[in-house]
Amino acid sequence: MILVTGATGTIGGHVVRLLIERGVPFRAMSRRERPGGVRADFDDPASLARAVVGVDTVFLVTVPPVPTADHDIALLAAARAAGVRKIVKLSAIGSGERFDGGTVGAWHLAAEEAIQASGLAWTMLRPPSFGSNFLWYRALIQAGQPIPALTGDARQAVVDPRDVAAVAVAAMTSDAHDGQRYDLTGPELLTFADQASILERVLGRPVEITDAGAPDQLPAGVITGIRWARAGGAAYVTDHVRRVLGRPGGTFEQWARDHREAFAAMP
C-alpha cells in the first residue's frame, strides 16, 4: 500500500493518475474529506497515525506555510511507528547549496537528512521549476497583463511535472531507486522569457513578462533559492529522468501544447 501525500496537488495528482492506470493500490491523503481518500493534516499527528496504517511506501510532498521540515518530520515519526518501509520525497534542486550567506532549500535538506537518518529506505526527487508554474499566471495571461520573471535572465532546465510523477512512481514500485537522489531536470535550458515566447506561440496570444527583481516579501529560505536560481545556480541539465524512465524528459513546448485548453478556461 502506497500513501500519496499532496494527492490533490500538481505532482501528487499525476502520481494518483499513474497509480490508477497501473492498478497499484494506494491511499490519497488530503486535508479534505474525499471519496476513497484519507483525511489527514501534517499539523495533526493523530490523523497522520491513521493515514499510515498498513502502508509500505509514502510519497511525501510538503508545502508548509513557513518553510520548515516540521511536516516531513511529523510524517516520518508516524511512518516509523507504523513500520513503513520506504519514503519517496519530493524535494527541490539545489537544496543545501550555500548562496549569499544562506542555504538553498534548507527545509528540504533538513527533511532529507532526517529521512536518511531514520533507517527507512528512501529516494529523493529534486526537480527545478515545473513547466506547470505558468498556470499560476492564467488570470494575468488572460487579462493581457505581464507576469513576473522571478529568475530574471537565468536559464533553468524546467521540468514537466508528469515526468517528476513518473519517476516518483518508478521509485515507489521498485527497489532499484532506493538510496538515489535524482536532479529531475527537463531536457533544455530556458530563460523565463524563452518559456513565455514558447507559450505565446502555442497559445497564439501575447504572454508578456516583467522583471521586478527577486521578491523580498517571501520567507528568507525561499528568497535564497530564487536568488540562487537568478544567479544561474540551476542552469544545468541532467540525464536522471532518462536514466529512470528510459526516455528523455518532455519539453516545455510539449507541456504547453498539452495544456493549451487550461489557459483558455477561467482560473
Interface residues toward ligand NAP, by CB under 6 A: 6-12, 30-32, 41-43, 61-63, 90, 92, 127, 129-130, 133
Minimum distance, C-beta of residue 62 to ligand NAP, in the bound complex (Å): 5
When the beta carbons of 127 and 250 are compared against ligand NAP, the nearer one is: 127
232: cell is 544561474
Minimum distance, C-beta of residue 204 to ligand NAP, in the bound complex (Å): 25
Minimum distance, C-beta of residue 148 to ligand NAP, in the bound complex (Å): 14
Minimum distance, C-beta of residue 94 to ligand NAP, in the bound complex (Å): 9
When the beta carbons of 6 and 233 are compared against ligand NAP, the nearer one is: 6
When the beta carbons of 124 and 204 are compared against ligand NAP, the nearer one is: 124
Minimum distance, C-beta of residue 87 to ligand NAP, in the bound complex (Å): 14
When the beta carbons of 33 and 204 are compared against ligand NAP, the nearer one is: 33
- Spatial neighbors of 94 by CB under 8 A, at least 6 apart, are 104, 105, 126, 225, 228, 229, 233, 234
When the beta carbons of 31 and 205 are compared against ligand NAP, the nearer one is: 31
When the beta carbons of 113 and 175 are compared against ligand NAP, the nearer one is: 113
Minimum distance, C-beta of residue 255 to ligand NAP, in the bound complex (Å): 12
